[in-house]
Amino acid sequence: MTAPAQPIEVLLVEDDPGDVLMTREAFEDNKIGNTLHVVRDGEEALDFLYRRGAHEQAPSPDLILLDLNLPKYDGRQVLERIKSDPDLSHIPVVVLTTSSAEEDILRSYKLHANAYVTKPVDLDQFIAAVRQIDEFFVTVVRLPRVGLSQG
């Protein structure tokens, strides 16, 4: 028997209000109760991760859902920054974007994305995809619990 899933902190980096709304809906419909934090551009994502400005009290995310096409810093720049920082590189990053271009997929994996998901256009399929990501990272994968005492 497996232990019940622990809720996790999820950071959604997404500038499209419709996609934010659909992602929130997918999380709210899940019974696990993960906390979804939303930032709207690459600069705000880095402020959240480094706890700067309005995000001084931000929790450390257990999972990041990252759009590629963002204002200020694009998702590729944010991904590169996350994966090159020893304090952040352990956080799984799922690229969740409209692009199905092979060059975007390859570049994301070369920048050490943990997964690449092309956003379905259909609302029900989009919600199902986000739920599957959420459930996978909560019930299947063991995530590091940073900040817990080492034993």
Question: Structure tokens of 148?
Answer: 């817990």
Domain membership flag for residue 150? no
Q: 79: domain range? A: 9-138
| 137 DSSP 8-state letter | I
Helix (H) or strand (E) holding 150: none
Domain membership flag for residue 24? yes
Contacts of 17 (CB under 8 A, 6+ apart): none
CA 118, CA 139: separation in Å to the nearest integer? Answer: 22
> What per-residue confidence (pLDDT) applies to 74?
93
Domain membership flag for residue 146? no
Domain membership flag for residue 144? no
> What per-residue confidence (pLDDT) applies to 147?
47
What stretches of the chain adopt beta strand conformation (E)?
A: 9-13, 35-39, 63-66, 93-97, 115-118
CB 29 within 8 A of CB 54: no
How many domains, the chain?
Answer: 1
Query: 69 by DSSP, 3-state: which?
Result: coil
Question: Structure tokens of 95?
Answer: 């690229």
pLDDT, averaged in runs of 10, over the chain (151 residues): 66 94 82 84 97 95 95 95 96 93 96 94 87 82 57 37
> What per-residue confidence (pLDDT) applies to 145?
65
Give the pTM: 0.89
List the CATH number of the domain containing 120.
Answer: 3.40.50.2300
